[in-house]
Amino acid sequence: MKSKFLNIVIKELKDLLRDPRILVMSVIIPVIMFIGLGAMFQVTVKKGIEEVRRIEVSVVLVDLDKGDYAEAFKKFIKMVNASYVEAPSLNEAMKIALEKGVLSVIVIPEGFSKNISNMKPGVLKIYHLISEVSFTATGLRGKVEALVNRFSRTLSQSIALAHGITNLNFIVKPVVSDASIMFRGRSIPLQLWGSLTGSFMATAWIPLIVVIFAASMAATSIGVEKEEKTLEVLLTLPISRFKLALSKFIGTMIIAIIQSIAYVAGYTYYMYSIFKSFESEASGALFSPFQALRWLALSISDLALIGLAIFLTILLGASLGLLLGSFGTDVRSSTSMVQFVAMPAFIIGMILAYMDLSIMPETTRYTLALLPFSSPIMSIKSIFINEPILGWVSCLASTCYTIVAIYGMSRMFSSERLLIGRIKARRKTLLAFRSR
């Protein structure tokens, strides 16, 4: 025999999971949004790169200089397997470009060769025509710029050789920096640090999104009971109101946790897709959260802190959602109450994500840690600034808020206000009850 408590939890899960609205929010959104986007990204980027590689550079050239270096540039274009069509003027060049579908026009202005001969930079004017905003178009523009840069470099080498300089690279950059970040005694290359923390902080945003979903799901669950008029019967069943509230809460929590897993998995796949797309182009510029974790070499206690912070925040979201949703009279009014959770969660998240905690006085840091919904970001930041106690304080505050919310929820479930709805709607609703 299943206990009455378990009976309600199972009913909640069945009812919620079969609700198309919940299904869309918890499964379809993460799948479509992240996995779909990731796959799309991978396909477009890969195709784009292949396309850019495949297509030869083709330009329309306007030679107003007619000098030696202009000739040298034309020869260079042919040597690198690119092609050009000449036009007498810029206007003509534009027409030809449009006719032939060429995307770039290069003008060699008068005095180009003279300038170079006099050791002054020769300017090549490039006009890119926009036909489409796409990865391929951007790639092709880059290819034209690269062509000019290669020519410039070849020229530098010739000039340097003429002056007896063989090691041009050294002359251009005799001093290079090799910066790295020291994190907990480990050195991490500087160029990796930015993307590492970036990917990691982005992961902290996911719990905030899930919190809002958890809250709105909890509110929907109670709103549906009111709208479908099932609440009255539920409240007369032989089960204590506290258990009733708790079982609803647990049902919502289970789905919120499934949702978090779906989101984190989706997000990881998304990041991995981006990483895979650029793998051959620029190695190691982007990280999935798991790769970031490996690089940062976080301890078990750090991971426990982050995990707990995320869990407690979802718990708080769900309990507040259930509490606030109880004041509504139907699904719409119940879910609209969730804005009271969503807004502060986002504002606090935004403030904390971009705030420099290390330069703040201790009291401010701890005050911020006490804010509701601060724990996911606070726990991550507290690890970075090597003050994990801040994260634990934030978790403790979250626990206190959750206990208060659950207490409020159980009070609400035992009062007749749950049936009557929010205070404002009270009179209207009661008149409706009374008229029966």
Partner 1 sequence: MYRKINMSQLFPNNTNIIVMLFRGNPLVERSIVDVKNLIKNYGPIKALRGISFHIFEGEVFGLIGPNGAGKTTTLRILATLLKPDSGKALVCGYNVVKEADKVRELISYLPEEAGAYRNLSGYEYLLFMARFYAKSEDEIKNMIEEAIEISGLGDRIQDKVKSYSKGMKRRLLVARSLMVKPKLAILDEPTSGLDVTHALHVRRIIKKYAKDYGITVLVSSHNMLEVEFLCDRVALINKGLIVAEGTPQELKREYNASNLEEVFEKIAGGVSFEV
Nearest distance from residue 406's CB to partner 1, in Å?
19
DSSP readout, 292-303?
HHHHHT--HHHH
Nearest distance from residue 254's CB to partner 1, in Å?
16
DSSP tally for the chain: helices H, then strands E = 21, 6
Tokens representing 20?
């198309």
What is the rounded (10 degree) CA torsion for 160, 161, 164, 170?
50
Given the structure tokens 């808020």, which residue do they identify?
401
Nearest distance from residue 4's CB to partner 1, in Å?
6
Nearest distance from residue 235's CB to partner 1, in Å?
6
Nearer to partner 1, 285 or 419 (CB): 419
Nearer to partner 1, 356 or 416 (CB): 416
Nearest distance from residue 320's CB to partner 1, in Å?
24
Nearer to partner 1, 242 or 407 (CB): 242
Tokens representing 213?
């979903």
Q: What is the DSSP letter of 357?
A: G
Nearest distance from residue 243's CB to partner 1, in Å?
10
Q: Which of 297, 299, 292, 298 is nearest to 272 (CA)?
A: 292
Calculate the alpha carbon distances from 267 to 4, 206, 351, 412 in Å: 37, 8, 23, 37
Nearer to partner 1, 2 or 54 (CB): 2
Nearer to partner 1, 3 or 180 (CB): 3
Nearest distance from residue 282's CB to partner 1, in Å?
48
Q: What is the DSSP letter of 122?
A: P
Nearest distance from residue 40's CB to partner 1, in Å?
32
Nearer to partner 1, 50 or 228 (CB): 228
Nearest distance from residue 435's CB to partner 1, in Å?
5
Tokens representing 269?
């796949």
Nearer to partner 1, 4 or 276 (CB): 4
Going by their DSSP bridges, the two strands 186-189 and 180-183 should be labelled as antiparallel
Nearer to partner 1, 192 or 430 (CB): 430
Nearer to partner 1, 218 or 371 (CB): 218
SS (H, E, C) 150-170: HHHHHHHHHHHHHCCCCCHHH
Instruction: Report the side by side order of strands in the sheet with 58-63.
Output: 83-86, 58-63, 104-108, 125-128
What is residue 234's three-state secondary structure?
helix
Residues within the interface to partner 1 (CB under 8 A): 1-2, 4, 7, 11, 14-15, 18-19, 228-230, 232-233, 235-240, 416, 419, 426-427, 430-431, 433-436
Alpha carbons 251 and 245: distance in angstroms, whole number: 10
Tokens representing 294?
């490996």
Alpha carbons 343 and 372: distance in angstroms, whole number: 12
Q: What is the DSSP letter of 57?
A: P
CB 318 within 8 A of CB 217: yes
Nearest distance from residue 325's CB to partner 1, in Å?
17
What is the rounded (10 degree) CA torsion for 237, 238, 239, 240?
100
Nearer to partner 1, 14 or 100 (CB): 14
Nearer to partner 1, 236 or 283 (CB): 236
Alpha carbons 248 and 322: distance in angstroms, whole number: 8
Nearest distance from residue 250's CB to partner 1, in Å?
16
What is residue 111's three-state secondary structure?
coil
